[in-house]
Amino acid sequence: MGKHYRKEGSGGSRVIRLALLLLLIAALIYVVAGRLGAPVAEKSQDSGTVAVSADSSADAKLKDREPSASADVAVVSLDTPKKEKEDSPASKKSPVDEKYGGPVPLLALIVDDGGGQIEYTKRVAALDIPLTWAIMPYLRHSKDTLALAESKGIPCLLHLPMQAEIDKDSSQYIIGKGMGAAEVRQKTAAALDSLPGVVGINNHRGSLATADAKLMEPVMAELKERGLLFVDSRTSGRSVAYQTAVAAGVPSVQNRGFLDNTADKNAIAARFREIVKNAQRRGSLVVICHFRPSTVMFLEELNKNYKELPVKLVTIPEMFKLMKDNSAELEGGI
C-alpha cells in the first residue's frame, strides 16, 4: 500500500513539474514576442521616412554619390509633432520651409545678354520670379534695360564682354589678351560707370580672358574697391576668374550650368528639372539663361507655380545674404 501511495505521489509531482515547465515556456514565448515587436515598428517608421524623403527630394539616393557641405539640406524631419509645428513661432514659414523642416535649397537664375533688345526684357520684367539680370554695356537698350530693372526692383550685373578663344577681332570684347593692368582696370571702371547701380560683374564669353589670372586681377581690384561682387560664368573649364576673385577678397560664386542651350521649350523644361535636382543635392546653385523667345516662354510658365518648387528661387544678392546669415562659406559649390 505504501509503495502504491509513493507511486501516485511521484506521478503528481511530475504533473506539477510539467505544468510549471509549460508556464515557463509560455512566459518565455511572451517575452520573446514582445521583443520582436519593437523592430517591426521601427522598420515601419524607417520605411515611412524613406518614402517621404523620396517624395520630397528626388536626389535622396544621389546624396552619397556627390557629397557636399550642404548635401543634407533636403532631409525631411518626422520628429516634430504637428501640434508643436502649429504653435511654434517658426510655423509661419513658407510651404517649402515646412516641406524640408530646415534650410531650403537655393537656386539663383541669371538672365544674360540684356541690352540688345527690349521686347523680351519687358516680358521678363512682368514676372514675379526672383531673377538677376546681366546687362551688356554700350548697347542700344543697355540703359533702358537698367532703368526697367530698377523700376521693378530687379538686381543687375554688368555683363562684361571678355575675349573668347575664337575671337580675333578686338571689337568683340572689352577685356582681352595683350592689355596691361592699367588698361584692363580703366575699361572695367568705364563699363561699370556706364551702368550705375549694378551689384557686380559676370563675364560675357571670355574663355581666353578668364583663363589668365593677370587679366582678371585688375578686374577684381576694381570690384574690391567698389564693394561689388563677381559671378564667374565659367564659359571654360580653365577659368581662374573665381579663384582670382576669392584671392582678392571679392564676394564670388560660380555659374554651374546653362538652362537654354537649345531653343526647344520642352528641352528647356527638362533641363530645369535637372537643375532643380542638382540644387537640392548641392544646397545652392547658380545657373544662367538668356533673354530668348523660348526661354521667356518657359519663364512665363514657371511664373505660375515657382513657389511650389522644392527649392527657393532667389536673386544673387539674396543668395549672398542668406548664405552669410547661415554662416556658410561662399565657395564654388554655390
Q: What's the number of CA atoms in the CB half-sphere (13 Å) around residue 333?
A: 18
Long-range contacts of 96-99 (CB under 8 A, 24+ apart): 96/307, 96/309, 96/310, 96/311, 96/312, 99/56, 99/310
Rounded to whole angstroms, how far apart are CA atoms 291 and 127? 13
Total number of residues shown for the chain? 334
Q: At what angle do helices 265-282 and 293-302 cross, to 10 degrees?
A: 60
Coil/strand/helix, residue 158: strand
Rounded to whole angstroms, how far apart are CA atoms 283 and 129? 19
Cell of residue 221, nine digits: 581690384
CATH entry, 106-325, from 3.40.630.30, 3.40.50.10540, 3.10.20.30, 3.20.20.370? 3.20.20.370
Coil/strand/helix, residue 284: strand
Instruction: Show pLDDT as tens, one digit a residue, over the chain (334 residues).
Output: 444 434 444 555 666 777 677 777 766 655 444 443 333 222 222 222 222 222 222 222 222 222 222 222 222 222 222 333 333 333 344 334 544 445 789 999 999 999 999 999 999 999 999 999 999 999 999 999 999 999 999 999 999 999 999 998 999 999 999 999 999 999 999 999 999 999 999 999 999 999 999 999 999 999 999 999 999 999 999 999 999 999 999 999 999 999 999 999 999 999 999 999 999 999 999 999 999 999 999 999 999 999 999 999 999 999 999 888 765 444 433 4
- Name the helix (H) or strand (E) containing 4: helix 2-56
Whole-model pTM above 0.75? no
Task: Say which amino acid occupies 123.
Answer: R
Rounded to whole angstroms, how far apart are CA atoms 180 and 157? 24
Q: In 10 A of CB 131, how many CB atoms? A: 22
CA 177, 180, 183 angle in degrees (round to 5)?
A: 105
Task: Say which amino acid occupies 272.
Answer: F
